[in-house]
Structure formats: C-alpha cells, structure tokens
Amino acid sequence: MPSASVLEKEKVVPMVFRRHGNTDPKNRGHALGNAKPASFYMHELERQGDKGGSLLLDASVLTATRPFNPQFIANDKKVLRFGAYFLEAVHESNLENYRVRCCDVLYYLEDDTMQITENKIENSGMMQGNFVKRHRIPMPESDDRGNLQFFTMHDFNVGRELTFYGRTFHLISADPFTRDYLTSRGVHIPMDEEVPRDPYTVLRQAHMARETGQDQDANYGKKKYPMKDFMEASLGKFARPNDHLRRFLAHDRDVLRFFAIWDDTEKLYGIRHRYTLHFFLADNTIEILESYERNSGCDPFPKLLNRTKLSKDPARQACAAVCDEGADGEDVTPVAQQNYYSWEDLAIGKYLQVYSRRILLLDADQHTRDWYNGHAMSLASAIPVKDEIIPRPVSLPPQHDGLGSEEDSLQSCYHLLPKAPLKSIESLDTTEVLRFRARFETTLPEDIGRRFVVSIIVSDQSVSIAEFVQRNSGIVGGKFLERTRVKRTRPDGSVVFAADGRPSWLGLDDFYVGARVRIAGRTFILFEMDEYSAKYMEARPAKFARSDKLEVLRKVRAELDKSALLDRMDGIQQKQQRQIDVEELTSLLDGLVTDFTQHEATTVIRNYGDKMSMKIDTETLPQLLT
C-alpha cells in the first residue's frame, strides 16, 4: 500500500503516465517507448520536492519523451487558399485587348504541393475548372548551383506576383484559415484587393442586366406589368382579367386540328402538299405543320407557319403579329379582332391564304368536331382527295454479256463493289439427278442418229448434256454442254422474260418424256428416262403431276370419249394385237385427251401394265380409262 505522500504526489502525474493508480514501471512495448518508466517521473517529483520546487512536472521532462510527429501528419488536410488572377491577351477583337481570369491557388502544407483551379463562368466558351493539377511547381529560376527550386509556403502572400509555367498570377485575397495560420507563424497578411475589371466583363454585365430586368431604365417595349395591376387593385381599382388571361384560363391546352392540302401541280414539278393546321384557342394563334410521305423527294422542313396570329390581309402576313391588347388593359374592338383568323373562320371546304398559298381545309379530328358541335357550328363531312398513283418504272437489268454466270455478273448492278452471289446449302447437293435420253428434232441425216443424255440437278435445276460416242460417225462424242442453268428461248432465239422483267429459266416442269426442250440453239426431244428418275418422280406426285397415276387417270376419264376410244380399239384388235407400248398408247389417246404426253403414258403402263416390257393389255385398257 503506497504511503499518503506518494498518493499526494501521484495526483499531479498526468493520466497518460498512470496505470490504474499504480506507480510501478510499465511493461516493455508500451507507447511510452520503454525508455523511461513511470517510476522515473515519481523520483523526479520527489527530487523536486526535496529541493523545495513545485510539485508540477517540468515541461522539459514531459516533452522529452513525446514521440516524433512527422510533417505529413501534423499538417494533414491543411490547405492555404489564395485568390488570384492573371491577364490573358485577346487578339482579333475590337471589343477587348485582354481578359481577366480569376483563379484559386491552393497550397497543401502536408507535401508542399500546389493546385490551381479556375472558377467556372456560365457560357464562357472556355474549358474551366482544374487549371493546374496538384504537384510541386518549380520556380522559373534555379539556385546558384543550378539546382531546381520549388515554391514554398514563404513565397505566398497577398499582393505578390508569382509566375507558374510562363503565366504571372497576382494574389489578391486569402481565406480566414490562411490568415490565421500565417499570422500564427509571424507573417503579416495585407488586406484583400479587388479584382480588376476588363472591358468584356463590363459589357457582359450590362447586357445581362438589361436581359434579366435588373436595369430599371431599360425599355422592354411592354405597356403593362403584372405588378402594376396588383398595386392598382390593392388601392381599390376594379381589376378584371384581360382578354388574354381570360382565354388562357378558359381554353388552355384546347387545340383544334384540321387537315389541309395545297395543290401546287400547276407549276413545273409541282406536287400536292398536305398539312396539319393547329388552332390554339388560348391565344387565337395558328400553327401549320407539313406532313411528308416516304420518298416524297421534299426536304423535311417541319413547319410552314410557326405559331402566330394569322392576318386575313395577305399584305400584312409578312409582318410580325402585333398584340391585340390595349394600352391600359382594356379589350380591343371587334373590328380589330376581325383582322386575324379566329375559330369561327375555319370550316371544311374553306380556303386560307397563307403566304400566297391557297390552302384547302379537308377534314378535322373528332375532338374538333365535338367542340364545334358544342358551339352550334357543325362541320361538313371530309373532302376526299385521291393522289394520282404514278406507276413505278420497272428497271430491267442489262443483258448478259456471256462472260461468267449471269447471277455473278448481275451483282455489278446491285453493288458498287460486286460480291459473289450467295448459295444455299441445298444448291450444293448434287446427289439427286434426273436423266433423260434425247435426240435432235431435225431432218438432217447426219444428226438423226445422234443420241444424248440430258441430266438435271434437282437442287439448283442446272442442266448438263453428254453425247454418246458412236464409231465412224464423224462426230466426237462426250460432253456436249457444261453444267449450267438454261434460259427459256423461242424458236427465233429470243429470251423469254417473266412478269418482273427477269429472264425465265428452265425448271423441273420442263423436263419429262416427250418434251421438246430448246437448249444451246438446238431442240431436243426427250424420249426415255432411267429407272431412278421414274421412281424419284413417282415418289413425289405433288411436285411431278405427270408421274401421279391417280391424277393421270382422273384427267383421262374426265376428257375421254368412250365411243371414240372403242372405235380406235377395234382397229387394234383387228390386227390381233393384245398389248401396246408407250408410243402406241400415246397415239391412241392423241386427240381424245388434251396434252397427253408420253410421260403420262409411261406412268399408266408402269403402274397398271407390265413394267418389264413396258406394255399394257388391250383388253383391260378400256375398263381402266373409262
């Protein structure tokens, strides 16, 4: 237990040096630094008491053990702010020679860095804000040894001029914190200075004073002010809303809409212009908007007439609309009101003279019609105006020059930089091929015996022709036509065009047994097909109608005359012929059935006759066909 004298001495020991009332030395690692424990201060108190001194600790003893406080901690978030300006020369201007630009110079005490910011001025046209980023700014001149020097806190004061990167800044003011801080360091701070005024700032302030109403001597051309009406009413004058205010309160957002047209077809290249007319009941103003159609060829100018009062006198329409309110607020006479269009002057079928344009009102929306009906003025029915539909000219592509494929050459008509035509995946499939045997339709003896194989690729309907090699014929066989698409041509060689102006191509419907196909200037007669082609067509009766057995029988039974058929069958039976082939069946029904081909005869024999010999019995034929 400490004695009473020790406890009395402990009262004057600062709390930071105590440890729960105990004066024992503190453990190592304490914030005091382990250099001088608490017992040191107790002995120091006893020593001063023995000498008859004060019981308070000496300041040198207490400060001797305080930890070191670095500058960036002691001056953290301490910034000196000075107001400054610099002069900027203005060239090529007759209003000013220079301009004053105000800035704030910030000096950060923690690391001796500087930052310059410029105050933003509305509509100045300059990039203002951060003028110089925060960093240490060097002085324009170096020291005697040539070392680079930087600005410090002692270089700043009100009234001084400092040069930063070629610009001279004049310090004119300091904030309260800066004044207190520098004054505590023994630096005298002069009074703040005023910012000089340049000619442009004076002219700009005078202009803004006139525009915002701060200048009471400026004439704004107004005859009456709302404050004047209020003061006169408060003094006892009878005040009623003028005509403008009355119409605004009664008809605000009430707009009548009419649809109009201006016929300008009398002029060269003139067209019919359609407009939308808006009549604002709040102030009797008219607005006319033009309605454009797609690809009309007109510039998209939005308005024919901006919102204004429209005079009935064409000579006065070029002048600006004047106010129809009297000098003292009283309403104008009805005679003056008649100089401008009102809602009573608008009616369907009436012409309006708008800047030398006679605009006809055609129709109105439902709201406008209801408004007129509520005022006992019904509008007439709409006037229909049909525009002349000019047929669009058909642009035909030029004829193919024969170089390359036509699809590839046609890309030059569609693109400035031609691109290869796209091909579908189906067009790349070459596994489905229909083959026919063919011969020439000719009377030349050297061409009568020539035989060909015509192949049609189903995917892209391209055609290739190969000729059989015949010994001692004098004609080289092999490839007769490279695989390509073939156009339909007439006997004179002219190309057949479709309805859209494009050339017509041979398709799958043009190839069947008995067909005559004109290819490469020669006419081929298809007289036989292979087994794969026959099965392929029979498996797809919807695509190949001549291979549909039911459709062929339906066609024959609908057109065949039974008596005529029996007469022809009697001639065959007299020859004691029990079976007939494809050619005989075709000749039997020739003239009895319209457009009966060998392909249809082949379909009948393959399904109802002997497929191996390709013949059908004459006894069952009449029962089958009738």
Q: What mean pLDDT value characterizes the chain? A: 82
On the question of pLDDT at 43 being above 90, the answer is: no
Q: What is the pLDDT of residue 30?
A: 43
Percent helix, strand, coil in the chain, to 5, is 30, 25, 50
CB 553 within 8 A of CB 604: yes
Q: What is the pLDDT of residue 390?
A: 77
On the question of pLDDT at 10 being above 80, the answer is: no
Q: What is the pLDDT of residue 325?
A: 42
- pLDDT > 70 fraction of the chain, expressed in percent and rounded: 82
Strands 79-89 and 98-108: antiparallel
Quote the CA–CA distance of 284 and 584 in Å, as a whole number: 93
On the question of pLDDT at 22 being above 80, the answer is: no
Which pLDDT tens digit goes with each residue over 339-398? 889 999 999 999 998 988 999 999 999 999 999 999 989 999 999 988 777 788 877 777
CB 290 within 8 A of CB 359: no
Q: What is the pLDDT of residue 427?
A: 76
Candidates 528, 546, 539; CA nearest to 593 is 546
Quote the CA–CA distance of 331 and 239 in Å, as a whole number: 13
Quote the CA–CA distance of 591 and 608 in Å, as a whole number: 22
Least trusted range by pLDDT, from 115-119, 506-510, 579-583: 579-583
pLDDT average, residue stretch 396-415: 81
pLDDT average, residue stretch 589-596: 86
CB 206 within 8 A of CB 119: no
On the question of pLDDT at 468 being above 90, the answer is: yes
Choose between 163 and 246: higher pLDDT. 163
Is the entire prediction scored with pTM above 0.75? no
| Single-letter code of the amino acid located at 140 | P
Choose between 425 and 58: higher pLDDT. 425
Q: Which helix (H) or strand (E) holds 337?
A: helix 334-337
On the question of pLDDT at 418 being above 70, the answer is: yes
Q: What is the pLDDT of residue 92?
A: 83
CB atoms within 10 A of CB 277: 22
Which pLDDT tens digit goes with each residue over 491-544? 888 888 887 777 888 999 999 999 999 998 899 999 999 999 999 999 999 999
On the question of pLDDT at 26 being above 50, the answer is: no
On the question of pLDDT at 49 being above 60, the answer is: no
pLDDT average, residue stretch 282-307: 88
Quote the CA–CA distance of 67 and 62 in Å, as a whole number: 11
DSSP string across 523-568: EEEEEEE-HHHHHHHHT-TTT-GGG-HHHHHHHHHHH--HHHHHHH
CB 54 within 8 A of CB 14: no
